Amino acid sequence: MQRISELEKQYALEVLENGFRASRNHAFNARLESRFAELFGGGYAIAMANGTVTLHTALAALVIGPGDEVIVPPLTMASTSLSVLQAGAVPVFADVDPDTFNLDPAAAARAVTPQTRAIISVGLYGLPPDYDGLKSLCRQHRLYLIEDNAQCFLARYNDYRAGQQGDFASFSFQASKHLTAGEGGMLITNDPELAEKARRFACLGYAAMQAGKGKITKTQIQDPLYARHASFGYNYRMPDLSAAVLLAQVERAESLVQQRQQAAQLFTQALAGAALFKPQAVPAGLTNTYYTFAMALQSDQPEKDWYRFRDLFLENGGDGFYAAWRLTYQEPFFQQEVTGYPGIWQTYTDGLCPVAEHLQPRMLQLKTNYYDLSAARRNADILARTIAQF
């Protein structure tokens, strides 16, 4: 199996052969958005430049800004929280579940204040969060739910897909993700009013933007009396060349996701009976699409044992693995600069999320993007051997 097939090359070549003519420069975006929306049961899909601007756009469409708080998990890529700052709002960190590593609804409930307007959930490492708990909390306090599914594509939550639960759902097509064109993002919603606001915000506030329409007609653009900018907006649009590659990836999505799940199954088998690591728990009714295979080292000295295990794994011929990001609020930017920003009343210090602080130095992510499963099998064997030697 190849990550980039002849189909991606064919679609990309069509864009190049069109010479980027304005009359054809949105064709693949339109096809991609339509296909992506169908994948999630209808509604509206808006293609954008990456999976961070999608979150900023969702917050803007929901009119969340200065004076508002947004609850976020600390154990994830910082873009989730940075988008809140981009909107002028305050990120408030709530702790994670010790077994799933995802945002804990009970911790989120403790973080709610009169200023809270939304929760951004994260489908970490490919596993959907506890949507039932989060949605119940949102209903109780009249909060919006934005799904950050950058790492979670085609995972199931009972009878639904991750992406069908929130007011908005955001996806990333950055180079390491399940589907990619090197970069890119997608924002989906079932609400036509929110879709129109989001599309307009992501396209310079153009008046012609509609929930399901992302292109200005030739007649409009050539009219000297055409009033283009109806509202404030950014240029967050996806290039059609990226859309062409992503359309092919979406058409191959099931097989691309299954490849990662098969690699993860090999790692699960390698861990059987091993007490050294606790893999990410997958509750009943959920599926994990394994952006990476995540597990926590069971050690009282992670500052030594994490590196010792990593070095032994590499010595045995393993491909290496990833650590967890520093908790977002423990990054120097948050602890040294953000507190001084206008309108930021939150103080970001150690101790905010004890569970996440315990997990972060112990987290280990094995890569699953093996398109030749023999390589995944070899690394699974090395993992079992390294655990036995450790």
Question: Is residue 195 assigned to a domain?
Answer: yes
Same domain, 78 and 207: yes
Same domain, 81 and 182: yes
pLDDT of residue 229: 86
Same domain, 245 and 369: no
Question: Is residue 338 assigned to a domain?
Answer: yes
Same domain, 136 and 208: yes
Same domain, 243 and 268: no
What lies within 8 Å, CB to CB, of 241 at 6+ separation is 12, 15, 16, 28, 181
Give dist(CA 377, CA 370) in Å, integer.
10
Same domain, 245 and 164: yes
The count of structural domains within the chain is: 2
pLDDT band of residue 21 (cuts 50, 70, 90) is confident
Question: Is residue 52 assigned to a domain?
Answer: yes
Mean local confidence (pLDDT), 248-277: 96
Q: At what angle do helices 79-86 and 53-61 cross, to 10 degrees?
A: 40
Same domain, 216 and 87: yes
Q: At what angle do helices 53-61 and 192-201 cross, to 10 degrees?
A: 120
Give dist(CA 389, CA 95) in Å, integer.
34
pTM assigned to the model: 0.96
Give dist(CA 90, CA 112) in Å, integer.
12
CATH number at residue 296: 3.90.1150.10
pLDDT band of residue 273 (cuts 50, 70, 90) is confident
Residue pLDDT, tens place only, 73-127: 999 999 999 999 999 999 999 999 999 999 999 999 999 999 999 999 999 999 9
Of 219, 252, 285, the residue at which a domain comes to its end is 252
What lies within 8 Å, CB to CB, of 328 at 6+ separation is 72, 74, 76, 78, 80, 81, 91, 93, 334
Give dist(CA 318, CA 316) in Å, integer.
6
Of 218, 252, 286, the residue at which a domain comes to its end is 252
Q: What number of other Cβ atoms are within 10 A of residue 22's Cβ? A: 10
Residues annotated as catalytic are 177
Question: Is residue 1 assigned to a domain?
Answer: no
Of 252, 281, 306, the residue at which a domain comes to its end is 252
Question: Is residue 263 assigned to a domain?
Answer: yes
Per-residue CA distances from 330 to 77, 78, 95, 352, 355 (Å) = 12, 10, 13, 10, 14
Same domain, 89 and 176: yes
Same domain, 223 and 271: no
The residue type found at 90 is V
Give dist(CA 83, CA 57) in Å, integer.
9
Domain that holds residue 141: 6-252
CATH number at residue 134: 3.40.640.10
pLDDT of residue 23: 65
Give dist(CA 364, CA 298) in Å, integer.
11
pLDDT of residue 342: 79
Same domain, 201 and 305: no
Same domain, 245 and 298: no
